[in-house]
Structure 1
Amino acid sequence: MASHRSPRHTPLPGQARPARVTVLSAAAAGAAVALVPAAPAGAEPDSQLSAATLNSRIDRLYEQAEVATEKYNGVAERTGKLREQVAHAQDGVARSQTEVNRLRDALGALAGAQYRSGGIDPAVTLMLTEDPDSYLAKAATLDRIGSRQLAKLRRLQSAQRVLGQRRTEAAGKLEQLAGLQQTLEQRKKDVRRKLAEARRLLARLSPEERASRDGRRSRAGGPGIGPGGSAPSSQRAAAAVAAAKSAVGRPYAWGAAGPGSFDCSGLTQWAYRQAGTSIPRTSQAQRSAGQQVPLGQARPGDLVIYRDDASHVAMYVGGGQVVHAPHPGAAVRYDPVGMLPVSAVTRP
């Protein structure tokens, strides 16, 4: 469909189109925080901490970073929707401006015809002012305008009123968008700071300790899955499972939703999108994106939500296993369903 933008439209103050909010990959995030922060003042030196203590602190930082990432994802989703609303509002301003221009051109043509025939009616001159309301308010002078001229003037009056309303709406949405973009930047800083501290602590572990850490979840125990959990609940669930399995080995990147990299909720959203189904972007919203079922009745394709704050999500794929995007530095992988405290199981 052709654009309604008019070259005669004067942009609103601050109406430059907002830059797209880009999602940092793990590599870009790493480059942005190349200067790893020092330990907090007064903290016990890392060299004096045991591997167990370091691992506990790293786990806590990853959990905090995941919470911050899901908050980032929520704001990013709202920003995308608001950006669409801004574009729609600006297009409405352009359409209204085009209509005002057309009506004023028609009145200008009327004035030109009157001038060539011996002079312009003062009423027509008033029609061409920026504020025809001031003329219409003077009811005593309306008899000086013919019915056709009056109808044109009223249409212009209405068009200018709509234009003003749409300009106000667009300006308000632009202001909201600027606020959300500022919030996004703060969320980015929160995630970067926590991931940088986690990398600093990881560097204190020996290669053997890091390898042992990577295998901890694979050895985790947890509640079992009942006998009804062997088959997907639907064809779309089966397609989502196939998509999630196809992503195994691709890297984690906070804020990413595929196809090359993922964070936890980005993976599950992408997998269901491949199955032709739309689910929300964040793990908190995904918890409510379908029917709640007991863990013992989980079936492949169900979303397993972890922690009370729903800050992590994985997809159950059968056999007591989930596929998920765990944390920075790790690839999408299989892990036991009981790797973390389960707070809910949702069947989209």
Structure 2
Amino acid sequence: MSVLPIAPEASAEPESGASQILSHYRELSRDAEKTTEAMNKAQHDYDVQRKIVVTQRRASAKATKRLDSMAEQMDDAQKKVDALARASYRGARVNRLYAVLVSDSPQGLLDNMSGLEIMSRQSAADLKSIAATARKTREAKANADKAAREASDAVAVAEKQRGKLQSKQSDLQLEAVRIRAVYKSLTGKQLAALRGPKYKFDARAVAKGTSPALVAVQAAISRIGDPYVWGATGPNQFDCSGLMLWAYKQAHKSLPRTSEAQLAGGKPVDRDDLKPGDLVIYYPDATHVGMYVGDGFVVHASTFGVPVAVVPIDKAGPYNSARRY
């Protein structure tokens, strides 16, 4: 793979207000990238929490249905108890002495005692059933109450996450307005300095293969020249982590949404052991990410006004660490 810099035209322009504007633009862009990644995280957290809300509400509905069913069983069992109580109140005899007194023959005595034994066993079974039903009903109510509370808590957390997301979106919109305004004021020389030197890049020399990593590399370099857009995940515009997400999606592999989450996942890789497809994380707060393509170069979506490009690994930002997926 051949990736060589094309030297920019020499310029004798001194450090001036023009260079300060460019420096200010870069600072604004870095802040916006941080906000973008924070917004992406807030969006992810909100989506996760909304799924939890749905799950907990279903659990609550299921537990409530179970409670209603157990309540019906409890009513049936209570009717049996009430019937037994009424029979006793009206003078029903259910003891063995009564059987002896009213029996006029040995066979009659056996018949009466057998009937009483059956009656006794049925009563005991009814009482046991009632106790079990009552216990299950209490458990069902406790489960329903717990599920309802968890659903309510999940809703509260989701609303909090939505508030954070809306705040981040508002922050980014304001930052984007400022960045676009400054960008429009940049001169041709400033724009060239912003984009950096151009590199001769032969995409045909990049490793090919069917592994997810190599498929992702080919996908990523196919987007060279596409614009950077905050929060975008393709297919024709990207932010930094969005490009990684989209590239690996083409290899049927899911990655976390943000550069910070991408740092937290995967397998740690030493810089000396980088292979095409590895993600290279930048800055101490992990707010930028690129993909290693080989020979010391990465492909990345840099910042607003700079299209997706292949650059030397240290030109994409201060190196943090790398991950292999």
TM-score by length of 1: 0.67
More helix by share: 2
Residue 89 of structure 1 pairs with residue 56 of structure 2: yes
C-alpha RMSD over aligned residues? 3.3
Tell me which residue corresponds to 1:174. Answer: 155
User: Where does 1:63-82 land on structure 2 (aligned, <5 Å)?
Assistant: 63-82=30-49
Gaps of 5+ in 1: 1-48, 122-142, 220-228
Q: Is the partner of 1:338 in helix, strand or coil?
A: helix
Pairwise CA distance, 1:329 = 4.1
Tell me which residue corresponds to 2:164. Answer: 183
Pairwise CA distance, 1:231 = 4.8
Residue 243 of structure 1 pairs with residue 219 of structure 2: yes
Q: Distance in 1 between matches of 2:86 and 2:163?
A: 54
Pairwise CA distance, 1:217 = 5.0
Q: Distance in 2 between matches of 1:149 and 1:347?
A: 60
Tell me which residue corresponds to 1:224. Answer: none
Pairwise CA distance, 1:171 = 0.9
Q: If you compute each CA radius of gyration, which structure gives the higher value, 1 or 2?
A: 2
User: Where does 1:124-139 land on structure 2 (aligned, <5 Å)?
Assistant: none
Q: Distance in 1 between matches of 2:319 and 2:216?
A: 21
Q: Is the partner of 1:346 in helix, strand or coil?
A: strand
Tell me which residue corresponds to 1:60. Answer: 27
User: Where does 1:299-310 land on structure 2 (aligned, <5 Å)?
Assistant: 299-310=275-286
Percent identity between the two aligned chains: 29
Look up the equivalent residue of 1:218 and give its one-letter code. K
Pairwise CA distance, 1:185 = 1.2
Look up the equivalent residue of 1:197 and give its one-letter code. R
Pairwise CA distance, 1:82 = 1.7
- Residue by residue over 1:167-215, the C-alpha shift from the partner in whole angstroms, topping out at 9 and shown as x without a partner, is 1111111111111111111111222222211112122223x24542454
Look up the equivalent residue of 2:133 and give its one-letter code. K
Summarize the Cα distance change of 1:114–1:154 in structure 2 as closer, same or farther, 3 Å threshold: closer
Pairwise CA distance, 1:120 = 9.4
Pairwise CA distance, 1:74 = 1.8
- Residue by residue over 1:17-56, the C-alpha shift from the partner in whole angstroms, topping out at 9 and shown as x without a partner, is xxxxxxxxxxxxxxxxxxxxxxxxxxxxxxxx73211111
Q: 2:196 aligns with which of 216, 223, 227?
A: 216
Pairwise CA distance, 1:284 = 2.1
Tell me which residue corresponds to 1:7. Answer: none
Summarize the Cα distance change of 1:112–1:146 in structure 2 as closer, same or farther, 3 Å threshold: closer
Tell me which residue corresponds to 2:270. Answer: 293
Tell me which residue corresponds to 1:346. Answer: 323
Summarize the Cα distance change of 1:171–1:341 in structure 2 as closer, same or farther, 3 Å threshold: same
Q: Distance in 2 between matches of 1:305 and 1:312?
A: 6
Q: Distance in 1 between matches of 2:269 and 2:295?
A: 20
Pairwise CA distance, 1:312 = 1.0
Residue 311 of structure 1 pairs with residue 287 of structure 2: yes
Q: Distance in 2 between matches of 1:267 and 1:246?
A: 11
Question: Do 1:111 and 1:120's aligned partners in 2 also have CA atoms closer than 8 Å?
Answer: no
User: Where does 1:266-277 land on structure 2 (aligned, <5 Å)?
Assistant: 266-277=242-253
Tell me which residue corresponds to 2:118. Answer: none
Residue 200 of structure 1 pairs with residue 177 of structure 2: no
